[in-house]
Amino acid sequence: MNEWFIIKETQGKGRGAFATKKIPKGTSIIQYKGKLISKSVAEKLEQKHKSKGELWIFTLNEEYDIDASRQGNEARFINHSCEPNCEAVNYDDEEIWIEAVKDIEPGEELTYNYGFEEPDEYFPCFCGSKNCKGWIVKEDYEFKPGEKEELERLHQELLEEPNLQNKTHFKHSKKVKKNKH
Ligand SMILES: [Zn+2]
């Protein structure tokens, strides 16, 4: 266990991470750990897990991704949100850390934006925030004409299939780059 949060079941999003104490803005909460895998292995895993869920891959650098389903820690249970209170920071293409971007109150769910380039996985977002984009996409993603309507229809269909909400198939992109000090 770590000093900042616990893992609990959420409503409709599988497991999530909830603060156990006040977390000041700027805190490095946890390192996103997992087995280093090559891009070709990552690609194979994605295909294999596409229909089954439970896959956690984070882009680390040009050569490697991090597979948190092996040698991973609780960082993999932190959910996506369109209005997150954390961000994923890539240090020198070597380590990913989840850091607080605002003060977080005890009991609040920890979230960050997974930063998908395109919603090609059609993975719906259940973050529930006011400005929810409906899909797990990066903050400034622009929907193409008609795309949003199409995705909304799909989202509605998925909502009616409760099992899908618990599936986890996420490929995270790197978000913010910083240098180790
Ligand atoms: Zn959302």
The rounded Å distance from CA 102 to ligand 1 centre is 18
Say if residues 100 and 108 touch (Cβ distance below 8 Å).
no
The rounded Å distance from CA 113 to ligand 1 centre is 9
- For the chain, give the number of residues: 181
Rg of the chain, C-alpha, whole Å: 16
The rounded Å distance from CA 92 to ligand 1 centre is 29
Q: What is the pLDDT along the chain (181 residues), one digit of tens a residue?
A: 689 999 999 877 788 999 999 999 999 999 999 999 999 998 888 777 765 556 688 889 999 999 998 999 999 999 989 999 999 999 999 999 999 999 999 999 999 998 776 655 667 788 888 888 888 888 788 888 888 888 778 777 777 765 554 444 555 655 567 776 5
User: Quick one: the chain helix, strand, coil %, rounded to 5?
Assistant: 20, 30, 50
6 CB contacts (<8 Å, ≥6 apart)?
17, 18, 20
pTM passes above 0.75? yes
Q: How many CA atoms lie within 13 A of 168 on its CB side?
A: 18
For 104-136, b where at least 16 C-beta lie within 10 A, e where not — what string? beeebbbbbbbbbeebeeebbbbbeeeeebbbb
The rounded Å distance from CA 7 to ligand 1 centre is 20
The rounded Å distance from CA 83 to ligand 1 centre is 7
Query: Strands of 28-31's sheet, edge to edge?
Result: 28-31, 95-100, 86-91, 176-178
The rounded Å distance from CA 136 to ligand 1 centre is 7
The rounded Å distance from CA 181 to ligand 1 centre is 33
The rounded Å distance from CA 137 to ligand 1 centre is 9
Domains located in the chain, CATH noted: 5-176 (2.170.270.10)
